Amino acid sequence: MSGSAERKLIVAIDGPSGAGKSTVTRALADRLGYINIDTGAMFRAVALMARRGGIDPEDENALGKLCTGLDIDFDRSDGCCRVLVNGEDVSTAIRTPEISLLTSVVSAKKVVRDYLLALQRRMGERGGVVLEGRDIGTVVFPTAQVKFFLTASVEERGRRRFEELRAKGASVTLEQTIVEVEQRDRQDLQRTIAPLRRADDAIDIDSTSLTLDEVLEKMEAVVRAKAGRQ
Ligand code: DC
């Protein structure tokens, strides 16, 4: 299908951790010829730099200073999407369980959210983007033309995260991974700033028993229908 007559839209994909957002976002962006923006990776990058700088995650002042000195970007030159902080590729370093938990704390801080909100809007405002996160459809781009809320059961999300970590050689147990997913769900849902919330006009997709292709077919059809319409 030709993309030339289609409008370049802003597509928001929100949902809890482990629902498959990263894989789905990347593959959907590929199908559409859009770029993908992993906003979770941006929060993770801030958390990593806070840890390296010995910054107390409760110290908003210090976090603010840290943010102003950061240059966060994505390198898509090898077809994938590497996360760069001040030119350094931190794609692997931001994916440890320790940084995952720290990110959940740091991402609840207003100063961090404000800094990344501005950056995310700059990256996405021209359209032709698929952004994934927790508050894309509600806060970052409430006027996004297409919004999806991607979920899966907690057990399935824990199992997926466990497989992912094991493939990377991490020594974790399935039970421990499910507990961590539940813990992050609680933190993401209960925080006062930009909690994980489904936008009223989001389309729900439960991926528990769907294949990746089935999820993508559904999403692509929605975006194409919307993009072809003026
Ligand atoms: O999607 P992820 O697992 O990489 O996200 C890491 C953390 O960042 C997670 O605890 C939720 C938080 N996050 C957020 O608060 N807002 C976003 N837009 C994206 C992620």
> What is the per-residue pLDDT for 197?
85
Q: Is the pLDDT of residue 31 over 70?
A: yes
CA of 39 to the centre of ligand 1 (A): 7
* 78 phi-psi bin (left φ>0, alpha ψ -120 to 50, beta other): alpha
User: What is residue 12's three-state secondary structure?
Assistant: strand
174, two tokens? 């399935």
Minimum-distance ligand 1 atom for the alpha carbon of 104: 10
pLDDT at 100 over 90: no
What residues are in contact with ligand 1 under a 6 Å CB criterion?
Answer: 17, 39-41, 43-44, 103-104, 107, 133-135, 184, 188
pLDDT band at 3 (very low <50, low <70, confident <90, very high): very low
pLDDT range class, residue 187, cuts 50, 70, 90: confident
**pLDDT interval class at 229 (50, 70, 90):** low
CB 146 within 8 A of CB 222: yes
Residue 77 binned pLDDT confidence (cut-offs 50, 70, 90): confident
pLDDT at 4 over 60: no
Q: How far apart are CA 222 and CA 230, in angstroms?
A: 14
Whether 30 contacts 37, CB under 8 Å: no
| Residue with token string 């961590």 | 180
Residue 137 has what pLDDT? 96
Distance CA 77, CA 84 (A): 12
- The answer to whether 215 and 148 have CB atoms below 8 angstroms apart is no
Q: Pocket of ligand 1, candidates 120, 134, 139: which has the most ligand atoms within 8 Å of its Cβ, to mutate? A: 134
Confidence class for position 101, pLDDT limits 50, 70, 90: confident
50 CA to middle of ligand 1, Å?
16
**Cβ 100 vs Cβ 176: under 8 Å:** no
Our CA angle for 137, 6, 116, nearest 5°, is: 30
Under 8 Å CB-to-CB from 212, ≥6 apart: which residues? 20, 23, 24, 27
Distance of CA 31 from the midpoint of ligand 1 (Å): 24
Going from the N-terminus, what domains does the chain have, and what CATH number goes with each? 3-152+197-221 (3.40.50.300)
Return d(Cα 101, Cα 44) in angstroms, integer. Answer: 9
**Ligand 1 atom 13: the closest Cα is on which residue?**
40
Residue 190, pLDDT > 80, answer: yes
Is 14 a residue whose pLDDT tops 50?
yes
| pTM over the 0.85 mark | yes
Confidence (pLDDT) at 76: 86
Mean pLDDT of the chain: 92
Q: Whose CA is nearest to atom 18 of ligand 1?
A: 133
Which residues have a Cβ under 8 Å from the Cβ of 20 and sit 6 or more positions away? 150, 152, 160, 207, 212, 215
pLDDT tens digits, 138-163: 999 999 999 999 999 999 999 998 99
Q: By the 8 A CB rule, do 99 and 90 touch?
A: no
- From residue 7, alpha-carbon distances to 11, 71, 80 in Å are 12, 30, 24
Residue 181 has pLDDT above 70, yes or no: yes
Q: Band the pLDDT of 195: cuts 50, 70, 90.
A: confident
Among 48-62, 89-103, 157-171, top mean pLDDT goes to 48-62
> Whose C-alpha lies nearest to ligand 1, atom 11?
104
Residues sharing a CB contact under 8 Å with residue 224, sequence separation 6 or more, in sequence order: 1, 6, 32
C-alpha 87/C-alpha 180 separation (Å) is 31
**Bridge partner residues of 74 (DSSP):** 83
